[in-house]
Amino acid sequence: MMLASNTLNLSRAQVMAIINLTPDSFYAQSRNLTTKEARCSVERAVADGATIVDLGGYSSRPGAQDVTVDEEWRRVRLGLEAVRSVDCGVVVSVDTFRSEIVRRAVCEFGDIVVNDISAGELDAQMIATVARLGLTYVAMHMRGVPETMQSMTHYESGVVCSVVDYFRKRAKQLEDAGVMPERIILDPGFGFAKSAEQNYELLTHLSALAELGYTTLAGVSRKSMIYRPLGITAEESLPGSLAFAWEALRGGARIIRVHDVAPTRQLVDLFNHYNG
């Protein structure tokens, strides 16, 4: 049995559930190391109102260590098997920057959304692979690699202009390569090669990215930009995460990527209701 068709309905804001399949993700409670754990997390996410589940087998937290393609695939495959066993019709996203993972996933499981933290910068074959397979593609802004990105936070023209200019050029490259514009999703990459102050500036001016005309995704859930200024831990940062999610929606985000589906689903439903 193949996965359900990954056609996203973005007429209203959607909730993407983070399903980490790594032993070192920054938020320990999000880790799923067995098929049973992954299946339970997928079932709970869907029951709580997620319309997209995002499976990640490679931790992208600052300072994260590299893993082999085969080890990443073992983890991702575990997650894909879990989704397939639940048979819930949810849209499935795979969080990877490696085109080989994308090829293996589509070959064995069918259509997926690709969520690439590097916007194709770390694998020269990624964009061509996505275009050839006709997949929806999330391109995130980042500099360097997870081990080095936090040393690359200087933006000559300011972080907002730099990110918007980057995506204006990158989106054109994606379209020129054959990726349909309606299948391009842009993620400003909160916390990736950005200081806390730059993250706040990006959030304040997120509408500048949405004005490019592509779907915008925001991932702010339980990140250090929320809990460090408050002197708390990631485990204590749900209220701040919800506040930042609301601001992202006000800035034009149509997908909110989160650890906590149920409260975010309520927030998104209220936002959709408030905005008609």
Query: Using one digit for the tens of pLDDT, what is the confidence trace for 114-136?
Result: 999 999 999 999 999 999 999 99
Task: Give the tokens for residue 231.
Answer: 């002197």
pLDDT of residue 2: 55
* Mean pLDDT value of segment 210-217: 97
Residue 27 has pLDDT above 50, yes or no: no
Structure confidence at residue 25 as a pLDDT band (50, 70, 90) = low
**Of 179, 166, 190, 56, whose CA–CA distance to 116 is shortest?**
56
Dihedral sign, Cα of residue 255, residue 18, residue 248, residue 275: positive
The 10s digit of each residue's pLDDT in 225-270 is 999 999 999 999 999 999 999 999 999 999 999 999 999 999 999 9
**Helices 261-274 and 238-250: angle between axes, nearest 10 degrees:** 30
Contact assessment for residue 54 and residue 17, using Cβ atoms and an 8 Å cutoff: yes
d(CA 21, CA 38): 8
- Asked if 59 and 77 touch (Cβ cutoff 8 Å), the reply is no
Domains and CATH numbers, the chain: 14-271 (3.20.20.20)
Mean pLDDT, residues 158-186:
97
CA separation for the pair 10, 218 (Å, rounded): 14
Question: Angle formed by the axes of helices 126-133 and 99-109, to 10°?
Answer: 20
Backbone angles phi, psi at 62, to 5 degrees: -55, 130
Beta strands in 159-235 (DSSP E): 184-187, 215-218
Tokens at residue 194, please?
Answer: 């950005």
User: Mean of the pLDDT values across residues 190-207?
Assistant: 95
pLDDT score recorded for residue 61: 67
Residues annotated as catalytic (active site), given as ranges: 223, 257
pTM for this one? 0.93
Beta-strand ranges (E) seen in 33-88 are: 52-56
